Structure 1
Amino acid sequence: MRPGPLRFAGRGSPLSARQKQTKWIRVDRERVFGITSCVYQALAVLVLRSVHAQHVPQTCTRVHASRRMRTARRAPSCFETHRSALSLWTHRFRAAMLLSMRTKIQRGCGMRARDSRCKRACLVARTALAVCFGATVAGVAAARAEPTFPSKPIHISVPYGAGGVADLTMRLLAQKLTERTKQQVVIENRPGAGGLLSAKAVLEAPADGYTLGVIGNGQAIGMSLFKARPYNVLSDFTLVSMTASFEMLLAVKADSALKTLQDVVAAARKNPKQLNFGAINPGSTQNLSAHLLKQVSGVDVTIIPYKTTPDLVTAVLRGDVDVGFDFYAGLQAVISDNQVRIVATSGEARNPLLRDVPTAKESGFPDYVVTSWNGLASAAGMPADTLAILNQHINAALSDAKLQATASALGMDARGSTPEEMRARMAADVKKWAAVIDKAGIEKQ
């Protein structure tokens, strides 16, 4: 059965072609512009609400004013101020578009022309909506991406006791970071257990940049020194920046017949097993540096471990060991008193505080380069923008002239790095010290 002709509601006569065209054009135009104006209004309200969320309305400050008075005297918010203007603009926009469409209809247009114009109107409306929405989202995203880190105190966990080289470095850095970020930077000493206590505190904290830990070549050594380690220094941490480096000093008693590193090696080769090297703690950087010199020079000497640096210094002064291996900070007092003589340093370049002392490379041992270093890291997963801000603050703080002068007086080279440079250095040291430990036959702990 064929459908009957379309009729107006309440009337019995069928619609003419002209009436059909007029009715559907009216329906289409109202649908298009109704949807368009509603979406425009919704987007505008969303933007105003975002602005209003950050706006604090001005209220009456009189304590005993009535609720009605406080309401009456409250200044309108950003959202309230512009809502009426928004409604007026939306009304005018829709009215103007409807009037324009009505005028064109009254002039007459064919069904095909009407379809074309409606399609063009829809396309223009969609394009405008897309541009408006994209600009709104981009603006909100940009506002939310503003660097607000840090907004609370930062904690740095140090795996050594107070007063050590790493502790002094971090305290200098913490002072400058506090000045730059306007947030307190707190040093927390957690010595013991080979640095595991400090590492645990860092790894259990959120990777948000507010809990950092000191790691360096000591952790690189630990990767091969311990049988079972609860973390991997290369995969379980976000490496932020290196902070300082310091080379080893080779010290002999002031009246020793050994004047240079060549004298030490020559005496060891002439009298195998007669010379003694001294350093603290098996597996420490000092201890492994003594093993490394033994390996690269091919000498047969005895390496005696000591518990502390003062114990080592006492052994050198008594003549119990022929050569002691330690950092400048630990030997500074006896160097200043001319009780010991430094025959060589282990860095790439001469120590600024010991300009007359050659490096081991200059003395004919190019493979003997030992530079201990420290850096900062957090648990893995720190956001990239937080990492970038934190790295920038650390590098800027380490570039401070006063900080560098203070660090240099302690025998340290205060210098930052990129996260990538720190990772490359860590990976290289893991490989380097693993080979030294294996060759020395040091028992894993």
Structure 2
Amino acid sequence: MRSRHVFGHLRGMSALLLAAIAVGPAAAQNWPDHPIRLIIPLAAGGATDKAARLLAQRLGTALGQQVVAENLTGASGEIALKRVASAPADGYTLGATANSLHTVAPHMSRLPYDAVNDFTWLGTYASFEYVLVTRADAPDKDLGALLARARKAPDAVSYGSSGVGTGNHLAGALLGDLAKVRFNGIPYRGGSPAMIDVIAGRTDFMFDVVGGAKALIDGAKVKALATSGKARSSLLPDVPTVAETVPGYEATGWFGLVAPAGLPADIAKRLEAEVARIAQDPDYRRQLETLGYHAQAIPSAALKRAVAIESEKWRAVVQQLPCSSRGASCEGTKP
């Protein structure tokens, strides 16, 4: 009797398992049948937020369901990404993310999620370069002059950033590392106050996203010395790259779309295909250019590999930072 009961119980479990397997594809085929939430780890109103909302609008049109953008700020993106990672993997919660949140943040502090494996990677939708700017009447005529001044007086030349562990913070740290100079890094609570102090001459320079700094450069509020990509920026074609002075330098960024790990394969493929298609749309590309970004669609598999490579690059840079410049104590920072 006991064995019949056990076998009957197992048959019941098998039936439930088969039913679940049968329902999974059917549910995916009906997706989406209600609005999708896109969590953005930044405050509303900035160019980065606008780029994510532009993607949300076009995704909604392509999928036939509204994609509702929700800004969730705090802890340098950690709160938003934790929400995404812990959401059901059903295609109704997506996240807009940036490279530094996965390639730098894990080396600055312990995160409540695995920055790579707790997400389904769906591709990138935009990329950008930084530009190194000084005050308009700064004495340095080019990057070489700035570096020469820093070599003569270690720690006397300062650079501002949007905060500890941000992309432009690490862009400055990488420059110091490769050029063998010591800068005085000063983190601010956002890019705007950092830029205000550069304009006023209270800090010597900062890296800012090209699109955000271009109006200030055109208006002679700041002077552009170098851009951070491998090639010159199409928005600032007359400005040399950092690599023209410091070989091997590159510090760029991208924005990508992620979902919780375990997203059904057919939903993931559909989203990846739509993101790639949107990135090729000429009107979308023009709209991104007005925000200072480039449309770029790196597919999911290549993106996950790129994250791993970038992570190792920035790990080495973070390890060179003094404890006071990291997002947590040295004891709390991953080796």
TM class, shorter-chain normalised? 0.7 to 0.9
Q: What residue identity is the alignment partner of 2:316?
A: A
Find the aligned partners of 2:224 and 2:247 in 1 and give their Cα distance.
18
Question: Structure 2-normalised TM-score?
Answer: 0.85
Alignment of 1:250 onto 2:132: yes
* SS of match in other structure, 2:234: coil
Contact 1:353–1:409 (CA under 8 A) maintained in structure 2: no
Shift of 1:367: 2.3
CA distance in structure 2 between the aligned counterparts of 1:203 and 1:185, rounded to whole angstroms = 18
Q: 1:407, 1:413 within 8 Å by CA — same for their partners in 2?
A: yes
- Contact kept, 8 Å, 2:227 with 2:242, in 1: the verdict is yes
Q: What are the Cα deviations for residues 418-443 of structure 1, in whole angstroms up to 9, with x where unaligned? A: 11011012111221111111111243
* Distance in 2 between residues matched to 1:289 and 1:395, nearest whole Å: 28
> Does 252-261 or 180-189 show the bigger shift?
252-261
Q: CA deviation at 1:166?
A: 2.7
1:407 counterpart = 2:266: no
Partner residue in 2 for 1:169:
51
Corresponding position of 2:164: 282
**Structure 1 residue 257: deviation in Å?**
2.3
Partner of 2:270: 389
Counterpart secondary structure, 1:367 = coil
State the Cα deviation string for residues 288-323 of structure 1 (Å, max 9, x = none): 111110110011221222222221122112211221
Task: Check whether the contact 1:149–1:389 (CA below 8 A) recurs between aligned residues.
Answer: no
From 425, 433, 436, the counterpart of 2:314: 433
After TM superposition, give the deviation of residue 405 of structure 1 in Å: 0.9
Deviations 1:128-183 (A, max 9, x none): xxxxxxxxxxxx99x96995433322211011101233311111111211222221
Could you report, residue by residue, the CA deviation over 1:266-288 in whole angstroms, capped at 9, with x for unpaired residues?
A: 22223333322222211111111
Structure with bigger gyration radius: 1
* Aligned residue number for residue 223 of structure 1: 106
For 1:160-239, what aligned pairs fall within 5 Å after superposition?
160-219=42-101, 220-226=103-109, 228-239=110-121
Q: In 2, Cα distance between the equivalents of 1:434 and 1:343?
A: 27
- Structure 1 segment 19-418 matched on structure 2, within 5 A: 147-219=29-101, 220-226=103-109, 228-361=110-243, 363-418=244-299
Deviation per CA, 1:235-262: give whole Å up to 9, x if none: 1111111121111110012222212211
SS of alignment partner, residue 278 of structure 1: strand
Q: Secondary structure at the match of 1:157?
A: strand
Could you tell me how far apart the structure 1 residues matched to 2:171 and 2:146 are? 15
Structure with the larger RCO, 1 or 2 (CA within 8 Å, 6+ apart): 2
Q: Distance in 1 between matches of 2:327 and 2:86?
A: 26
Q: TM-score, normalised by structure 1?
A: 0.65
Contact 1:276 / 1:321 at 8 angstroms: preserved in 2? yes
The answer to whether the Cα contact below 8 Å between 2:159 and 2:172 also exists between their aligned partners in 1 is: yes
Report SS of the residue matched to 2:31.
Answer: coil
1:153 partner amino acid: P
**Cα separation, 2, equivalents of 1:169 and 1:301:** 32
Paired position in structure 2 for 1:86: none
Distance across 2 between alignment mates of 1:424 and 1:151: 32
- Which structure has greater helix proportion? 1
Change (3 A) 1:146 1:153: closer
Contact 1:161 1:191 in 2 (8 A): yes
CA displacement at 1:191 relative to structure 2: 0.4
Query: Deviation at 1:229?
Result: 1.6
| Alpha-carbon distance in structure 1 between the residues aligned to 2:288 and 2:28 | 34
Which residue does 1:443 correspond to in 2? 326
Give the structure 1 partner of residue 300 of structure 2.
Answer: 419
Number of aligned residue pairs: 303
Amino acid at match of 1:165: A
What runs of 5+ residues in structure 1 fail to find an aligned partner?
Answer: 1-139
Equivalent position SS for 2:124 = strand
Distance 1:427 1:387 in 2: 20
Conservation of the 8 A alpha-carbon contact between 1:225 and 1:437? yes
- Report the alpha carbon displacement of residue 352 of structure 1 after superposing the two structures with TM: 1.2
Q: Which amino acid aligns with 1:262?
A: G
Displaced runs of 4+ in structure 1, greater than 6 A?
Answer: none
Task: Give me the CA root mean square deviation.
Answer: 2.1
Farther off after superposition, 336-345 or 195-204: 195-204
Counterparts of 2:261 and 2:116 in 1: how far apart (Å)? 9
Q: Percent identity?
A: 35
Where 1:202 maps in the other structure, the secondary structure is helix
Residue 128 of structure 2 contacts residue 252 of structure 2 at CA under 8 Å; is this kept in 1?
yes
| Equivalent position SS for 1:414 | coil
Structure 1 contact 157–188 (Cα < 8 Å) conserved? yes
Counterpart code for 1:420: A
Identify unmatched segments of 5+ residues in structure 2.
Answer: 1-21, 329-335
Q: Deviations over 1:21-49 (max 9, x none)?
A: xxxxxxxxxxxxxxxxxxxxxxxxxxxxx
